[in-house]
């Protein structure tokens, strides 16, 4: 068994494919145009897939680490950039003196990874009104586009888990998303 206090880089070779993954507690998933969980054609681009954006500045406890060894360490924006994560910067709005730069991470869903089903996205939605849990798939995850998300705890994997030579897209490995009950009231919402 590996001690969690071991050096982050001192992990066995067979575990390296799970290195440099992210774990975010209370992720701030952006609303509106920053979500396309259904995968609709938007802004003339039909190649985007199913995704959402996380506001990294408003998310708690961002860690970089390894799912298999459960070795994690706090991550800064510089750490994320160093490890090749694609971070998008939205400059502060000059019309609002208190506004700050926003840093976003686009996270995609991958429900049918052709290389390894171990990497397929697992998405569970928790209704905070009646404590029900629903597992979503590629046909039902679109419900999140209109949902009021109270909080989300995420595990995110990179496109290329081994190398640091290229920029990486982020993919949901596991998501636990807590939504307000008013947004899961009719069966028709799930059938879209």
Residue 177 in domain: yes
- Does residue 93 sit within a domain? yes
Residue 3 lies in a domain: no
User: Residue 73 domain-assigned?
Assistant: yes
Domain tally, the chain? 1
Q: Averaged over 117-135, what is the pLDDT?
A: 83
Cα 156 from chain centroid (whole Å): 5
Does residue 10 sit within a domain?
no
Checking if the pLDDT of 56 tops 80, the result is yes
Residue 82, H or E segment: helix 77-82
Residue 187, H or E segment: helix 187-190
Q: What is the pLDDT of residues 1-24, one digit of tens each?
A: 222 333 445 444 444 445 678 999
- Single pTM value for the model: 0.77
Query: What end-to-end distance do the CA atoms of the chain give, in Å?
Result: 46
DSSP output for 7-67: -TT---GGGGGGTTEEEEES--B--GGGEETT---BTTB----SEEEEEGGG-EEEEEEET
Identify the residue with better confidence: 112 or 11: 112
Q: Is residue 79 part of a domain?
A: yes
Structural domain containing residue 118: 17-190
C-alpha dihedral sign at 63, 65, 71, 76: negative
Query: What pLDDT is attached to residue 53?
Result: 93
The answer to whether residue 6 sits within a structural domain is: no
pLDDT at 8: 43
Local confidence band at 187 (pLDDT 50, 70, 90 cut-offs)? very low
Task: Quote the pLDDT of residue 99.
Answer: 87
């Amino acid at each position: 068994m590996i001690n969690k206090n071991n050096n982050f880089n001192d992990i066995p070779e067979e575990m390296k494919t799970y290195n440099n993954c992210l774990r975010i507690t209370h992720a701030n998933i952006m609303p509106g145009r920053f979500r396309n969980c259904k995968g609709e054609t938007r802004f003339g681009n039909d190649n985007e897939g199913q995704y959402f954006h996380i506001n990294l500045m408003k998310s708690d406890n961002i860690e970089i680490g390894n799912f298999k060894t459960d070795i994690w360490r706090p991550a800064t924006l510089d750490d994320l950039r160093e490890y090749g994560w694609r971070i998008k910067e939205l400059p502060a709005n000059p019309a609002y003196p208190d506004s700050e730069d926003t840093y976003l991470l686009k996270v995609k869903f991958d429900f049918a990874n052709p290389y390894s089903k171990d990497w397929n996205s697992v998405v569970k939605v928790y209704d905070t009104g009646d404590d029900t849990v629903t597992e979503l798939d590629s046909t039902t995850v679109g419900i999140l586009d209109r949902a009021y998300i109270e909080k989300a705890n995420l595990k995110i994997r990179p496109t290329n888990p081994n190398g640091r030579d290229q920029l990486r897209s982020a993919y949901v490995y596991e998501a636990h998303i807590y939504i307000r009950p008013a947004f899961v009231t009719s069966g028709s919402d799930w059938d879209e």
